[in-house]
Amino acid sequence: MDLASNRVLIFGINSFTGKYLSSYLSSKGYSIFGTTKESCDITNKDDITKTLKEINPNYIINLSAIASPAHGDVLEFYRVNSIGAINILEVLIDLNLNPKKVILSSSATVYGNQGVEILDESLCPHPANYYGTSKYSMESIAKNYFNRLNIIITRPFNYTGVGQNQNFLIPKIVNHFKKRKESIGLGNLDVTREFNDIGFICEVYNRLLNSTIKSETINICSGRGVKLLDIIDIMNSIAGYNIKVEINPAFVRKDEIKSLTGSSKKLFSLIGEVKQKGFKETLKDMFEA
């Protein structure tokens, strides 16, 4: 692979996803460049301009985001997730740059509570929190740039792996077992989520970069839904003891989305089926790390 023509710029390279993705794409022969909030604030167009002039990337993946729905600063969701992402597109046009691919990471939370078992791209989004709304806002505006830039909007469903921040559900659960805690406080128990492996996510992004796809909004999912209490049962088995589950009212969200399981039909029709390790294996890796 000619590195001079395969320069990938990852905004948010120090994120959980960014760390894995940069290593994975590097192993595939890409020349990787990245920014952090400190090196390039995407809410500041001057920062973006400086970065793009220096790197002149062939591919761009934007992972910069306020990612936790529980984040306290409502305006920050929109400054970073909506305006920040669009700033990247604006600067590309201002500089007359047209990368082979611009991938904007959105989120499956844009769907909200749809009342259906499987969520596909034909559904009209109804985000139920500020995080989802900020991502849908980004999507809506970004589509106006489809005719000028080679954009793919991705909607990742939940994923996890070794090294994910303990503010997220799966690392929190695993950490309780690693410390052999007697009990764990959780919020809504009657929820189902996809929890794909980070390796699956990396391979999907790799294939999207290599594709001719553009002007599309695509789920990144496998359709593998897991119930929260089933995760506890699996961890009981891995750790060799049973933890007591308690409902903590502070963690119960009135706008909780009950089921987030995606249809991978469109994704796999475009890039082929992507295999991944079993969920229990991912949990075991995290427990033993």
Catalytic residues: 131
Asked whether 178 and 166 are in contact (CB, 8 A), the reply is no
E strands of the chain, at which residues? Answer: 7-11, 31-35, 59-62, 101-105, 151-156, 159-160, 183-186, 192-194, 196-197, 216-220, 225-227, 244-247, 259-260
DSSP 14: T
Written as one letter, the residue type at 78 is Y
For residue 210, count other CB atoms closer than 10 A to its CB: 13
Q: Secondary structure of 142-188 in the HEC alphabet?
A: HHHHCCCCCEEEEEECCEECCCCCCCCHHHHHHHHHHCCCCEEEECC
Q: How far apart are CA 31 and CA 243, in angstroms?
A: 45
With CA atoms as reference, report the closest residue to 13 among 75, 69, 65: 65
Chain centre distance of CA 54: 27
Which run of H or of E encompasses 93? helix 85-94
Question: SS3 letters for 66-91?
Answer: CCCCCCCCHHHHHHHHHHHHHHHHHH
Q: Are 69 and 115 in contact (CB under 8 A)?
A: no
Separation CA 167–CA 170 (nearest Å): 9
